[in-house]
Structure 1
């Protein structure tokens, strides 16, 4: 495995400055934001697709520091019921796929998106309960009319460009659990896989280790985000895991995102890393920093230091004791 970082945490810095800083910390791979919610400060497809010299310069900047690019990430809602919003996210994703091919990066990280509940809706609708039965009708309509048709076409587009999608299972989108990820993969094909982020599993009440086991059986893990979640045992009884309070209200929320080791101990993270290897994932462990209690620098440094204790780098080799 390689230790990586999702560089959007340093969007205010140049790519060169960011890579220098990460290289000094021993980071081996970077995940670059290319549009949508995360922006494209370090990797703008509109510029890079039309300028081969800039593409070569980007690759050289990464490779000259002994790093690789683990994925291009374009997080958006391409299924948003307002056509203008959906189209912008779609254009960013399509450009990202084309750029990934040009940069020889095989994986694009994104969200599944979330439609409305009928043609003409203005806002997305996230059904998460089977009753009242209206929610079942909404769920079926979304998947049959929006989710599967869109990703079937995008899957064909990605395959044409030799790229695969790693969908981040995130609450508020159609694909948010191992079950919904595999539902879409079954319908579309192996061009669809998972970007496993334990932080989103924990706050939905899912054990990340079991999620890895379930997805690993299907060879469906294409990328991994390293981010932690702390669940407040008092606040969760008041607000529940679907807490709608702002992330800024950290003292009152049922849960908040934390840097590695500040939500779950390092034994838990060691078990996660071990399970990843057990199911055959030996790719990049990409740190995503969204800890509201730490500065970007301190949060990242703690994450790097803690992950170094548990990440498994060397090939297994022969079991001499067997």
Structure 2
């Protein structure tokens, strides 16, 4: 396993300065945004796709620091009911897969997207209750008419380019649980998998370790994010899971993100790492820093300090004691 970082937290720095900084912390892999919600501060798609020499220079800058690229990330909503937004997200995904293929990067991370509730809709509709019955009708229409057809096409495209798709299980998007991920994977093939982020599981009351087992049995974990979450039970009692309180109003939210080790203790994270290995994941653990109580520098440093001692670096090989 390798310890990595999602470099959007250093979007104010040049590629060279960012690489020097993360390498100095003992990080071994970088996950780079190519546009959409993460932005493209360190990976400009059009420029790189147009020039083979720039591609070689780009990868050499990364390798010369002893780093690899774990994934390219283009989180957006390609199923948005507004055609302009959907087309931009789709073009971004397509270009990102092409670049990943050219650079030998095995995974592209994104969101599944979320459609509207009919062809003339203006905004996404995320059904979260089975009754009244029209919610079930919306959900059926979304999956049969929008979600499955779109991702079947994209899965074939990614497979042709020898790139895996890591969908982040995130509230507000159609794929947000192990069950919804596996449903899409069954329809579209094994190129579809999870960019598994425990922080979004905890607030949905999903145990990340059990989610790893569910997805790991199917070989459906393509990438992994390390981010923590605090659940504030009194606020949860008042606001519920689907809390619309601003992320900035942390005192009144049901849950909020923390750096690794500040939502759940190191033993919990050690169990997560061990379960990943138990179920065959031997790739990158990519830190995503979105802690509203810590600076970028402090939050990332503390996440690295928590994770480095518990990373499993070597496979056991033959069980010599049996």
Normalising by the residue count of structure 2, what TM-score does the alignment of the two structures yield?
Answer: 0.99
CA RMSD of aligned residues (A): 0.6
Please give the residue correspondences for 1:88-103 in structure 2 after superposition, counting only pairs within 5 Å. Answer: 88-103=88-103
Aligned residue number for residue 316 of structure 1: 316
Q: Report the CA distance between 1:159 and its aligned residue.
A: 1.3
Distance 1:173 1:289 in 2: 21
User: Is there any run of 5+ residues in structure 2 with no aligned partner, and where?
Assistant: none
Distance 2:59 2:165 in 1: 21
Q: Report the CA distance between 1:256 and its aligned residue.
A: 0.4
Q: Report the CA distance between 1:130 and its aligned residue.
A: 0.6
Counterpart check, 1:117 vs 2:117: yes
Aligned residue number for residue 279 of structure 1: 279
Aligned residue for 2:74, secondary structure, equals: strand
Aligned residue number for residue 201 of structure 1: 201
Kept in 2: contact 1:71–1:107 (CA 8 A): yes
Aligned residue number for residue 31 of structure 1: 31
Aligned residue for 1:47, secondary structure, equals: helix
Distance 1:321 1:7 in 2: 42
Q: Report the CA distance between 1:78 and its aligned residue.
A: 0.2
Aligned residue number for residue 178 of structure 1: 178
Q: How many residues align?
A: 322
Aligned residue for 1:71, secondary structure, equals: strand
Please give the residue correspondences for 1:14-163 in structure 2 after superposition, counting only pairs within 5 Å. Answer: 14-163=14-163
Higher alpha-carbon deviation: 48-57 or 168-177: 48-57
Q: Report the CA distance between 1:290 and its aligned residue.
A: 0.4
Distance 2:234 2:87 in 1: 42
Aligned residue number for residue 250 of structure 2: 250
User: Is there any run of 5+ residues in structure 1 with no aligned partner, and where?
Assistant: none
Normalising by the residue count of structure 1, what TM-score does the alignment of the two structures yield?
Answer: 0.99
Runs of 4 or more, structure 1, over 2 Å off, are none
Q: Report the CA distance between 1:220 and its aligned residue.
A: 0.5
Counterpart check, 1:239 vs 2:235: no
Kept in 2: contact 1:204–1:241 (CA 8 A): yes
Q: Report the CA distance between 1:318 and its aligned residue.
A: 2.1
Aligned residue number for residue 221 of structure 2: 221
Distance 1:292 1:238 in 2: 21
Counterpart check, 1:302 vs 2:311: no
Q: Report the CA distance between 1:156 and its aligned residue.
A: 1.1
Q: Report the CA distance between 1:191 and its aligned residue.
A: 1.1
* Residues 45-66 of structure 1: CA deviation (Å, up to 9, x unaligned): 1110001222111100110011
Q: Report the CA distance between 1:317 and its aligned residue.
A: 2.1
Q: Report the CA distance between 1:255 and its aligned residue.
A: 0.5
Please give the residue correspondences for 1:158-169 in structure 2 after superposition, counting only pairs within 5 Å. Answer: 158-169=158-169
* Residues 79-132 of structure 1: CA deviation (Å, up to 9, x unaligned): 000000111111111100000011100110000000000001000000011111
Kept in 2: contact 1:35–1:93 (CA 8 A): no
Distance 2:129 2:92 in 1: 32
